[in-house]
Structure 1
Amino acid sequence: MLIEAQDISVAIGGRLVLDGESVRCKPGIMTALVGASGSGKTTLLHCLGLLLPVDKGSIMIDGNDVTRYSIAARRRFWRDHAAFVLQDYGIIDEESVAFNVTMEASILGRRVSGNKEQMKQSLEQTGLKGREHELAGHLSGGEKQRLALARAIYKNADVLFVDEPTASLDAANRRKVIELLTDFAVRGRTVIVSTHDSEMIGACSAMHQVGSKARNIN
């Protein structure tokens, strides 16, 4: 999916966080949203993912203006096309690793449902093979980050929105996460990453400097 912001501005609490930002995120590559702390990287990511409305400008998906999407239309986009890996990982600690991948359970909540084989393949790809029955709360921070990516792989989303995916990770987990995100893009998906990590930025094919009205560097 081609995700675009066209001259968007956002004010939060009376402060202008984004001022005329434009960015074009193409399928098949990773786009890095970079900038100093407080520059609005996460805000821009949330706008592109339809998590946060814009005050001015427009958000386009595959050439269609989705700026004023209804709540129901946004939910359909999130359900059918998007996956999010945010800074808190979005992991439910009290549930199993398997449930955190499929997000489906039997009506009584006692048995994980969904495509079991696909779930196991997603865990294998992220280095969590054989851990589906463990409680997610037992995982380390790096493992939770990889579990969030396993969920995105399982979902086979068209576009992946990622916020600071390598923050606080050790070198081994950082390399693994970058490798997984790169593979996601190579498979034709759109990957949009908010980051200040130079190694993560170096792995991206496009970059947008938030706060300077700069355009993509391809």
Structure 2
Amino acid sequence: MIIEAQDISVKIGGRIVFEGESVSCKPGIMTALIGASGSGKTTLLHCLGLLLPVSKGSILINKNDVTKYGSAARRRFWRDHVAFVLQDYGIMDGESVAFNITMQTSVFGRRVIGNKERLTQSLEKTGLKGREKELAGHLSGGEKQRLALARAIYKDADILFVDEPTASLDATNRRKVIELLTDFAVRGRTVIVSTHDAEMIESCGILHQVGSKTNSITKSY
């Protein structure tokens, strides 16, 4: 799915966060939203994911204007097409690794249900195989980041919105997360990343400098 911002501006509490931002995020290639701290990278990511409204301009999904989507339409969009990996990971520490991935339990107890084959694949791809029964609160920060990605892999979402995925990670976990995101894009998904990490930026094919008033750059290889 193609996600586009067309000349959007955001004003929050009387403060202009950014003005006139335009970017086109395409499937099969990772898009990096880059810029200095406070430039509005995360805000732009949230606007593209319909988490925040824009003050001016339009958000398009596959050329359809979704700027004025109501709450029900946004929820359907998130349910059917989207996975988010945000800075707080969205992990429930008191639940098992498996539940955090499938988000499903039996109505008769705490037994995790869902597609076992997809669950196993998501665990294997993220290096969490054999830990499905462990409480998520026992995981390290890097492991929780990979758990959030395992949830996205399990859902097999069309679009993945990711905020600072390598922040505070060691080199090993950084490389693993970048590999997982790259694989997601290679499989034809739309991956949009807000980041200041040079290694993450180098792995992305479209670079958009937030607040620069310049066009996005598509890298050639």
Normalising by the smaller structure, the TM-score range is over 0.9
Shifted more, 126-135 versus 208-217: the winner is 208-217
TM-superposed deviation, 1:109: 4.3
TM-superposed deviation, 1:108: 3.7
The CA distance in 1 between the partners of 2:213 and 2:184, in whole Å, is: 28
Gaps of 5+ in 2: none
**Number of residues paired by the alignment?**
218
What is the aligned partner in structure 2 of residue 214 from structure 1? 214
The question of 1:19 aligning with 2:13 is answered no
What is the aligned partner in structure 2 of residue 173 from structure 1? 173
What SS class does the counterpart of residue 214 from structure 2 fall into?
coil
**TM-score between the two structures when normalised by the length of structure 1:** 0.99
Paired AA for residue 73 in structure 2: A
What SS class does the counterpart of residue 184 from structure 2 fall into?
helix
Shifted more, 112-121 versus 25-34: the winner is 112-121
What is the aligned partner in structure 1 of residue 156 from structure 2? 156
Describe the superposition over 1:2-53 as per-residue Cα deviations: whole angstroms up to 9, x where unpaired.
Answer: 0000000111111100211000001100000000000000000000000001
The CA distance in 2 between the partners of 1:135 and 1:215, in whole Å, is: 45
Shifted more, 173-182 versus 115-124: the winner is 115-124
Which contiguous aligned blocks of 4+ residues in structure 1 show a shift greater than 6 angstroms?
Answer: none
Gaps of 5+ in 1: none
Query: Residues 1-218 of structure 1 correspond to what in structure 2 (within 5 A)?
Result: 1-218=1-218
The CA distance in 1 between the partners of 2:121 and 2:38, in whole Å, is: 38
The CA distance in 2 between the partners of 1:208 and 1:170, in whole Å, is: 25
- Identity within the alignment, %: 81
Paired AA for residue 117 in structure 1: E
Describe the superposition over 1:102-157 as per-residue Cα deviations: whole angstroms up to 9, x where unpaired.
Answer: 01111144111110121111010000001000000000000000000000000000
Distance 1:109 1:7, change over 3 A: farther
**TM-score between the two structures when normalised by the length of structure 2:** 0.98
The CA distance in 2 between the partners of 1:199 and 1:128, in whole Å, is: 23
